[in-house]
Amino acid sequence: MNFTINKGDISGVLGNIQGLTGRRSNLAITENILIKATANNVTMIASDLETGFEGTYPAEVASEGTIAINARKFFEIVRDFPSDDILINEVENRWIEIGKDKVMYHIVGMNPDDFPETPQIEDIDFFSIDSFTFKNMIERTTVIGHAGDEKRAHIVGVFAQCLKEADHQILRMVSTDGSRLNKVDYILSDDEKIPSGDGVLIPKKGLNEVIKFLTSDQTIQIGFKHNHFIVQKDKETLVIRLLEGDFPDYSQIVSKNEAANYLKINRKMFSMMLKRMSILSSENYKSVIFNFNDDKLEITTTNPDLGESKEEMVLTFGKDPIEVAFNPKYFIDTLNVINEEFIVLNITDAGKPCLIEAEKDKSFLSVVMPMRI
């Protein structure tokens, strides 16, 4: 195999796939990138056995072939290469020459036949979505992470579902960790053919890899096929193996209580207040106390190992006092993915969850469960 490729066409891509090739697996070959040179282009494939990437880029191909090369080292060579054009030439015994002019690397590859097979994606009913919007949906759901040893599918995955409500078609994504839940909706065009079904669970770590390939100036295609979720761009495709399991019924928890308190709060002021009150939090003392009373919100933190703190904020509150404990990190995470000046809290009493949304954009809703005082 022998081809010349432009550094600018692949440097960013090689950086984006490091999350896949750098992930531990039982197969050493997954630390490599598979490169296929055919006709006038080169196809690059990466996989961590759960998420697969494939991209095709223009190249001057002198002779066709397939190689498997360490993805980290190949990326570092390409990233720091002094000229735009890079020659890749396979010599004998899987040794590969990478260079141009006065710079030359001679590194060993692996057997490309050992690379895991990529799923054949055919006959998929794709539907379109704005790339920036989809990135925003992913960020608003994967902000709810999970412990490294967590195995429950509904915790490590994001529930995705296509719905028909009223006169609209909706793509909905929902995420939870058991203590909070985020829901985000996107209205699809009525012309789109959406898949039917009860929804799927997409691994959060796979979606975090998708984000790296989403820019703000394009439309992408997404679809579901058997046990895979597919994201397709002009030159690139990502395929994520779906999780097996059920997502809990969340309909009741996201229902707003019309008799509850609706509190309009400046997002930035509220976020900074929570950050200051989190300074004295620790692994053993995560909660802060919210006191809603007499047209004000008072937040207090008590940590026997460090001390205590208190801060007040004026707001419109005219109902019975409420004292409730929350993990402030959950609120901060939510406020970080809302872009409006004001947010609205929907809070009923100390025993029920608090609902958080933007003042105007109602496509996103976050639910935080109270803690024991």
Tell whether domain 261-368 is in CATH 3.40.50.920.
no
Kindly report the number of other CB atoms within 10 A of residue 32's CB atom: 26
Question: Which CATH number describes the domain made up of 2-114?
Answer: 3.10.150.10
Residues 6+ apart with CB under 8 A from 263: 292, 297, 315, 316, 317, 344, 345, 347
Query: Does this chain's domain 127-241 share its CATH topology with 261-368?
Result: yes
Measuring CA to CA, which residue among 20, 56, 48, 69 is closest to residue 212? 20
Axis crossing angle, helix 7-16 with helix 71-79, rounded to the nearest 10: 140
* pTM value surpassing 0.75: yes
Amino acid 281: pLDDT: 86
Q: Single out the residue of 26, 90, 36, 28 nearest to residue 59, CA to CA.
A: 36
| Contact (Cβ atoms closer than 8 angstroms) between residue 33 and residue 90 | no
Residue-level pLDDT at 29 = 95
Distance of CA 340 to the CA centre of its chain: 21
Question: Where are the alpha helices (H) located in the chain, listed in sequence order?
Answer: 7-16, 18-21, 71-79, 131-142, 153-156, 204-211, 267-277, 328-336
Q: Where are the domains of the chain?
A: 2-114, 127-241, 261-368
**Could you give the angle at the alpha carbon of 182 between the alpha carbons of 266 and 199, nearest 5°?**
150
Class of domain 127-241: alpha beta
* Series of mean pLDDT values for 10-residue runs along the chain (373 residues): 96 96 88 96 95 96 97 97 95 93 93 90 84 95 90 95 86 96 92 79 96 88 90 93 95 86 94 94 89 92 93 87 94 97 94 95 96 83
What is the Cβ-side half-sphere exposure of residue 103, based on CA atoms within 13 angstroms? 14
As a residue count, the chain comes to 373
